Amino acid sequence: MALSATVSHAQMLINGAGATFPQVIYTKWFDEYQKVDPSVRFNYQGIGSGGGQKQILAETVDFGASDGPMSDENLAKAPRALWHIPTVAGAVVVSYNLEGDPQVRLDGPTLAGIFLGTITKWNDPAIAGQNPDVKLPDEDIVVVHRSDGSGTSFIFTDYLSSVSPDWKAKVGKGVSVSWPVGLGGKGNAGVAGQVKQTPGAIGYVELAYAHQNKLPVAEMKNSSGIYMSPTLDSVTAALAAATIPDDFRFSMVNSPGATAYPIAGTTWLLVYAEQKDHAKGEKLVQFLRWAYSDGEKLAPSLDYAPLPDNVLKRALDRVNSIKY
Amino acid sequence: MSTASTTHVVPAPGSRSPDIAFKWVAAFAAAMIVILIVFVGLELYWGSRLAIAKFGVGFLWSTEWDPVQEKFGALPFIFGTLLSSLLALLIAVPLGVATALFLTELAPLRIRQPIVMAIEMLAAVPSVIFGLWGIFVLIPWLRDHLFVWLKHWLGFLPLFKGPIYGTSMLAAGIIVAIMILPIITSISREILRSVPNLQREAAYALGATRWEVLRIAVLSYARRGLFGAAVLGLGRALGETMAVTMVIGNRPEIAASLFAPGYTLASVVANEFAEATTDIYFNSLFELGLVLLVVAILVNAAAQVMLKSMTGSGPIKVV
């Protein structure tokens, strides 16, 4: 009682909520930052990007977090300027269940064809043509996608929209979409579970999840025509080559750059340009400066891709212009 | 003429106040349930008003669910909810009643208690565990054995046509059946236990065989109560979320085949609520919640009507 009283008396509490994808690294950051500045404590709830956007708009949290950029419509609801600041990036990988776990290579239009249901067999010429060394079975492809709304689906459908006009017209991009074919699995674990259980299945999961669970992943053809396997380096390379507008609401799928992995995306913090509470605003900015220096170094060990130097500098400039 | 020593037998003035207090506390508790339901309904209505204004009643029979185009309809989810619950009942009621019959009428006394405990433990298993077990154990088995068998022998029926993925409407029905089995069995057992022995003795006295006794004296006497047990099971089946989400395939589609994936109202709300960013999307999910509440109320009301029309003099403990 006495202990908790002294702790809470000395500590300032900063609340945040939103995206689940970066929750692991945010939690790590807050833990580490506790050692740097014991006078502030961060509380982050991974309630989903939708919840994060709602809460920061309602100002019930001090910062929000989202795996997809806010829509113009939602951003217009903000009481004053609300900024997107990218923190780390991740990739979405394509995993599959084929006898003997061969290394499969795919390009964007083929992947879109599979998820549109126009390519239904593993030995379809579109797939076989890219994989001359792999003996592909005459087996039905079972498509598995996320059933829950997620940033992973957003990045994946954003990519398919950017490489396939057909996909863009028929399905589009979003955290949830109307899938033309396939089964829905809940979470990375649900998709991976169904892919693992179903012969001939193909699905998509977060890079970190695939890496930690050692799933077979496809090499994807990037916009320079090179097949890249998803790694933290190829994600950071994608981000470095992406065109990033001033408001940071950007998409980095199918990024140019010879070493870029094409299905990648970033995640954002949502902070008000002018902080209402001077003391909290100051602590938040101090924390963000730390996050963009020491914090980013923690990213690779947790399977997140750190920001490349050019983006990092711009993000830090934005942090430094937060008023409090 | 009463003496002082008997005064605590005769109520002293004012001693009715605990009675009155209890009556009000009980009435308050009962009223709270009604108020709670009303508030849940109002809140759901309020949360879904944009969707109600935009889509009107067409929401109920539209089959489209496209968050990108912002076109929303509830029919595939209503269908999935009702069908998966119906399948669950078709499996769980005969099993549950048979188990209850076995436990009350047939089983040797010393094995009754262990079986009852096993069934009650089934009720304590969390939903998500059933779901995981479903993905990793049940689904592969269904896909490689039961479904193949069904397709081989009954494949001429539309119900058992089409490709087999494992995750399917039927898998959801089976998982839910396992989950509602404990409540149906426990209540059926209580109902059957409350059938007076006089019933059985009378039937035996007429020369009935054991099966005839069960059928005429026990089951037909208890049918209203057993129906009530099924209704309680149905109530749980309609709202079951987590395990269903993990095995149903989450595809908003109305398919004739039980091997095809489906989707339920509770599942889509659980899946998409956290990431719903636009107002109309959010409101549509709320409206699905409202639809689920109304479906549950309607199904229960229908059950009450059916119960009233049922003959039988037995106990109606639960309804």
| DSSP state letters, A277-309 | SHHHHHHHHHHHHHIIIIIHHTTGGGT-BPPPH
Q: With a cut of 50, say whether residue A253 has pLDDT above it.
A: yes
Structure token digits, residue B163: 């490709």
CB contact under 8 A, B274 and A50: yes
Predicted confidence (pLDDT) at residue B3 exceeds the cutoff of 70: no
Q: Is the pLDDT of residue B304 over 90?
A: no
What are the angstrom distances between the C-alpha of B21 and each of B15, B34, B317? 11, 20, 27
Q: Which DSSP state fits A258?
A: T
Q: Is the dihedral of CA A280, A285, A287, A291 positive or negative?
A: positive
Cα three-residue angle A180-A185-A189, rounded to 5 degrees = 145
- Which residues in chain A are closer than 8 Å to B163, comparing Cβ atoms? 140
Question: Across the interface, which of B69, B139, B249 has its CB nearest the CB of A184?
Answer: B249
- As a whole number, the mean pLDDT across chain B is 89
- Whether A175 and B267 lie within 8 Å, measured CB to CB: no
B139-195 pLDDT per residue, tens: 999 999 999 999 999 989 999 988 898 899 999 999 999 999 999 999 999 999 988
Predicted confidence (pLDDT) per residue in B221-277, tens digit: 898 889 989 999 999 999 899 999 999 999 999 999 999 999 999 999 999 988 888
* pLDDT confidence of residue B303: 87
Per-residue model confidence (pLDDT) at position A9:
52
Rounded distance, CA B233 to CA B318, Å?
A: 11
CATH superfamily name and code, B82-264+293-311: MetI-like (1.10.3720.10)
What confidence score (pLDDT) does residue B6 get? Answer: 47
Domain ranges of chain B: 82-264+293-311
Question: What is the pLDDT, as a whole number, of residue B122?
Answer: 87
CA distance A141 to chain B (A): 11
Min Cα–Cα distance to chain B from A1, Å: 34
The H-or-E segment that residue A18 falls in is strand A12-18
Q: How many residues does chain A have?
A: 324
- pTM of the full structure: 0.86
Which tens digit of pLDDT belongs to each residue from A48-94? Answer: 888 899 999 999 999 999 988 898 988 999 999 999 999 999 999 99
Q: What secondary structure does DSSP assign to A25-73, as a single string?
A: HHHHHHHHHHHH-TTEEEEEE---HHHHHHHHHTTSSSEEEESSPPPHH
User: pLDDT confidence of B313, banded at 50, 70, 90?
Assistant: low
Average pLDDT over residues B88-96: 96
Rounded Cα distance between B290 and B41, Å, is 7
> Residue A212: pLDDT band by 50, 70, 90 thresholds?
confident
pLDDT tens readout for residues B195-205: 898 888 999 99
Sign of CA dihedral A132, A192, A114, A168: negative
> Does A1 have pLDDT greater than 60?
no
**B163, B148 contact by CB (below 8 A):** no
- Candidates B170, A170, B175; CA nearest to B162 is B170
Contact A70 B277 (CB under 8 A): yes
What is the ipTM, given to two decimal places? 0.82
Hey, are the CB atoms on B271 and A70 less than 8 Å from each other? no
Specify the DSSP element, H or E, that contains B220.
helix B220-239
